[in-house]
């Protein structure tokens, strides 16, 4: 689904203004070479249909340079882990959502909103802070 394209863009009031793409990781393969903008592949870490390790292996196989190694991201900027993220060159992110199955917005709506908002603004995902260091 393209944000800023067609009916989606019209519904959001951003037709032609935003160049982000939200794609299920499987169909992303087909469009990767055509749409190199800010990209996000996300996966619920308990998804039985599309295992997050398989999705992570696929993103690694793209051969992009990591700009930020695999690390936890949080919902509260502290210790409430929302999942894990790896960031790559060219604005490409791979992100997991802790405790979510296939339908991330249904299983983890707070986490889904949190990462999508940050991704669309090209902001950093909040970092984990070790207990006792706040």
Residue 79 has pLDDT above 80, yes or no: yes
List, as one string, the DSSP characters of 46-80: T-SSS-HHHHHHHHHHT-PPEEEEEEEEESSSSS-
Per the listing, tokens 């509260």 go with 76
pLDDT tens digits for 21-55?
444 444 444 444 444 456 888 999 999 888 888 88
pTM value is 0.71
**Tokens representing 125?**
């995902």
pLDDT tens digits for 86-105?
999 888 899 999 999 999 99
């Amino acid at each position: 689904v393209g944000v800023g394209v067609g009916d989606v863009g019209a519904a959001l009031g951003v037709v032609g203004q935003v160049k982000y793409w939200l794609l299920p990781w499987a169909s992303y393969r087909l469009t990767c070479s055509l749409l190199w903008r800010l990209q996000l592949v996300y996966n619920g870490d308990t998804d039985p249909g599309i295992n997050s390790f398989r999705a992570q292996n696929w993103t690694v196989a793209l051969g992009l340079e990591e700009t930020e190694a695999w690390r936890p991201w949080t919902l509260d900027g502290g210790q409430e882990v929302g999942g894990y993220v790896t960031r790559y060159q060219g604005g490409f992110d791979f992100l997991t959502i802790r405790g979510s199955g296939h339908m991330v917005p249904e299983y983890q709506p707070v986490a889904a909103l949190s990462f999508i908002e940050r991704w669309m603004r090209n902001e950093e995902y909040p970092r984990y802070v070790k207990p006792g260091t706040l």
